[in-house]
Amino acid sequence: MVRLSLILPLYRKAWPLTSAVASRLDPLMPVEEEKTPDYHHDRFFPARPGQVLNQRYQLATKLGYGANSTVWLARDLHRWRWSEEKYIAVKINATASSSRKRSVENEVAILQHISKLNPNHQGWHFIRKLSDSFNIEGKYGSSHCCLALDPLREPLWLYQRRYSDGVIPSGILKVLVQMMLHALDCLHSECRVIHTDLKPDNIMIKLEDLGLLEKDAQDEYDHPLPQKHIGDRIIYLSRNNFGPLRKPTGIIQLVDFDLSVSTKPGKLHFGPIQAEIYRAPEVILDSGYTFSADIWSLGVMLWDLLEGKSLFEPQNTNLVDEYDDATHLHLITYLIGPPPKEFSPNGQRSTIFYDSDGNLISGEEKRRFISFVKRMMKWRPEERSTAKELLDDPWLHEDFLEE
């Protein structure tokens, strides 16, 4: 076996640190990962351009961030010096609680599992693969798990905005849907994995030109974006918008498997999953979900993509920004009708929302509101209440009944 020390001189060399000076951002203004919930700087690895991770990946520019990680574009130095540059996206996970650590371990295990399965399945090519994984030591002896992945262009929600009125034309969307279905078929039938978090953020578009990566790396080296300096800590801005498409593309990749569930046919799983507006009824009721929960999310998401607005907006009427399970179930019922009688009583949370006859329970406030609106919404104009009649409706005065 050839020793690594003999090969290293033939590999690409790391770029020297840039001499370009970046402008400074206001140190009091939160930027990037600092704006995520529960942010604390000690959790994040102090990555910086020019740094080499795992003796292989030289960070070139920041691609993005989340509540639990930052993502960097990196040069793969384990390439022959006479070969083309290869760029990798390195996801550097922040330190976390034991539950979050399990999520990171779960993502690595599932990605490794997917990579080993049938590459002949058509959908296998539409699922993001793991190139490498390793741990690096951060401050205070903390360990950060890193994932090396193929760089991608942008999430589906950003791709959608590139079209007129923010709506993907139906002809293009149909092609994308076929790719998504192939990816889900591979994930479900071959990999036996439920994604559990299907949404436009987690469907990415592949790059149409890999030269865009080298351009961004060189731009950051020559003209670094403004930086925020706080003591010995630096927050870098992301270069994550490659601009208008240079040529037609639209190859998708299903990404982010940290919340995914490995399972067997017929087995039901319980507990909260999915982004709220894409949540399936069986998840809301906690009656047990399986692969079909992903299909529900896909259906809701496709409506959102084609129409340019959400199919469901299940906010609490009293708290505008707060998700409300009961409102969500009402909206689902309005769209597709009431559930089968045998469906609603089965969930562990069903009694919160349904009575013994399988009817949705409305609070008195909601019941009176619905009754009030129904007086206005009649097919026959002559059956609609007049303004004067509506002024006497109990819903308008229920807060004053005791007075």
Backbone angles phi, psi at 59, to 5 degrees: -65, 135
Phi, psi of 275 (to 5 degrees): -60, 145
268's enclosing H/E stretch is none
CB 200 within 8 A of CB 301: yes
86 annotated as belonging to a binding site for a ligand: no
Side-chain half-sphere exposure of 9, counting CA atoms within 13 A: 4
Given a contact cutoff of 8 angstroms between Cβ atoms, the answer to whether 339 and 333 are in contact is: yes
- Can you point out the beta strands (E) in 183-306? 193-194, 203-205, 227-230, 233-236, 252-254, 261-262
DSSP 335-396: HH-PPPTTTGGGSTTHHHHB-TTSPBP--HHHHHHHHHHHTT--SSGGGSPPHHHHTT-HHH
3-state secondary structure 98-113: HHHHHHHHHHHHHHHH
Largest CA distance in the chain: 91
Both tokens of residue 201?
């953020």
Catalytically annotated residue among 76, 197, 258, 294: 197
Closest CA to 258 of 67, 86, 80, 8: 67
Active-site residue, 304 included: no
Instruction: Give binding residues as ranges.
Output: 91
Instruction: Give binding residues for ATP as ranges.
Output: 91
Residues annotated as catalytic (active site), given as ranges: 197
